[in-house]
Amino acid sequence: MITTTTPLEARIAAAPRDFRVLTGDRPTGPLHLGHYFGTLRNRVELQRRGVDMFVIVADYQVLTDRDVADRLGETVDGLVLDYLAAGLDPDRATIFAHSAVPALNQLLLPFLSLVTVPELQRNPTVKDEILHSRQSSVSGLMFTYPVHQAADILFCGGNLVPVGQDQLPHIEVTRTVARRFNERYGPVFAIPEGLLSNAPLLAGTDGRKMSKSRGNAIALSATPDETARLVRSATTDADRHITYDPERRPGVSGLVQLAALCLGRDPHDVAAEVGGAGAAALKRMVTDAVNEFLAPMRERRAAYAKDPDFVRSVLRAGNARANTIADQTLRKVREAMGTVY
Ligand code: TRP
């Protein structure tokens, strides 16, 4: 959660309305508890405080590491449903899709002229993604998407980007692009700041980081039965006595942490309460805690899912708003560059 321990957090607490957040996700599949405790919860809290919230469905960015994205439309609808279920309010947050905002995408061209190829090649997050990519060779989009992401942030004057550690290099690219543009053509862009999430890394049901591709994730939209099945299959260890020791007992501790987060309790207390009752008791506790915690979100999601027109109307309204702002920004960019004819 957001605390007020850093100067930036204190500034947000003092003047939330000075901030415009731009954040978002690649529509690659259902959001899970790792996303919830990592970022969604923060977004809802920032929204509650009155920060202006822009959430991008990064449907072009999906194509960085695959040739085609299967059933993208469905995945996008699912992502919007997950947002609404988690508590993003379409009356307060602007939820929109990359591909629906032409002027945003056009910013990519002048922005690309502001970075060098070695800079693109040095990006540690991109390097890591290339390493894990399922493609035999790397696409141009893979190298340039951090600059595209700069356009996502800068088109709407986003000055606050809540991110995980892996996104920090991209924030640096964005700041570099904004600074260089301003130096070359005059002051157009605010220099955004990254708000590093202090959420703990959430372990999945195998003790490793929760992630869809590892099959260890509990989706927000999973049914209670699916949740029970996933938790039952979780990796534990031979020591019957339950303790919280993430270093030495990643499996058991991941489960303890999950229950603790859902119950809003300290993980050591949760472990002590289960104690000698063993892994089966821990798993029952986790299942109940997760299902109870997610019940209101799942209910909201099911209600919205009955109304696909509403989901699309949320996206259309967000796209319209994003387009208005992107057109204005592109106009300013072209004026600064002397290319309004
Ligand atoms: N890169 C982010 C992800 O992989 C998604 C994203 C696209 C994003 N554009 C952004 C995040 C701008 C923050 C700001 O999930």
User: Which residue has its alpha carbon closest to ligand 1 atom 1?
Assistant: 25
Residue 166: per-residue pLDDT: 87
The tens digit of pLDDT for each residue in 264-323 reads 999 999 999 999 999 999 999 999 999 999 999 999 999 999 999 999 999 999 999 999
Residue 247: per-residue pLDDT: 93
Measuring CA to CA, which residue among 134, 129, 69 is closest to residue 99? 69
- In testing the pocket of ligand 1, which one of 21, 23, 79, 155 has its CB within 8 Å of the most ligand atoms? 23
Does the pLDDT value for residue 3 go beyond 80?
no
Closest atom of ligand 1 to CA, residue 61: 7
Does the pLDDT value for residue 17 go beyond 90?
yes
User: Which residue has its alpha carbon closest to ligand 1 atom 13?
Assistant: 23
The tens digit of pLDDT for each residue in 60-71 reads 999 898 888 889
Residue 328: per-residue pLDDT: 98
As beta bridge partners, residue 196 has 163
Q: Rounded to whole angstroms, how far apart are CA atoms 287 and 280? A: 11
Q: Is 25 in the pocket of ligand 1 (CB under 6 A)?
A: yes
Does the pLDDT value for residue 79 go beyond 90?
yes
The tens digit of pLDDT for each residue in 187-205 reads 999 999 999 887 778 999 9
- In testing the pocket of ligand 1, which one of 105, 170, 173, 193 has its CB within 8 Å of the most ligand atoms? 170
The domain defined by 7-199+308-337 carries CATH number 3.40.50.620 = yes
Annotate 76-88 with b (16+ C-beta within 10 A) or e (fewer).
bbbbbbbbbbbbb
Domain ranges of the chain: 7-199+308-337, 212-304
212-304: what CATH class?
mainly alpha
What is the reported pTM?
0.95
Q: Is 21 in the pocket of ligand 1 (CB under 6 A)?
A: no
Residue 201: per-residue pLDDT: 82
Q: Is 64 in the pocket of ligand 1 (CB under 6 A)?
A: no
The tens digit of pLDDT for each residue in 242-271 reads 999 999 999 999 999 999 999 999 999 999
User: Which residue has its alpha carbon closest to ligand 1 atom 14?
Assistant: 23
Torsion over CA of 114, 119, 125 and 129, rounded to 10 degrees?
100
Average pLDDT score over residue span 209-236? 94
Q: Is 101 in the pocket of ligand 1 (CB under 6 A)?
A: no
User: Which residue has its alpha carbon closest to ligand 1 atom 7?
Assistant: 58
CA of 129 to the centre of ligand 1 (A): 14
CA of 232 to the centre of ligand 1 (A): 33
Report the Cα 25 to chain-centroid distance in Å. 5
Closest atom of ligand 1 to CA, residue 162: 13
As beta bridge partners, residue 93 has 53
Q: Rounded to whole angstroms, how far apart are CA atoms 116 and 138? A: 18
Burial class, 152, CB count within 10 angstroms (exposed 0-12 / middle 13-18 / buried 19+): buried
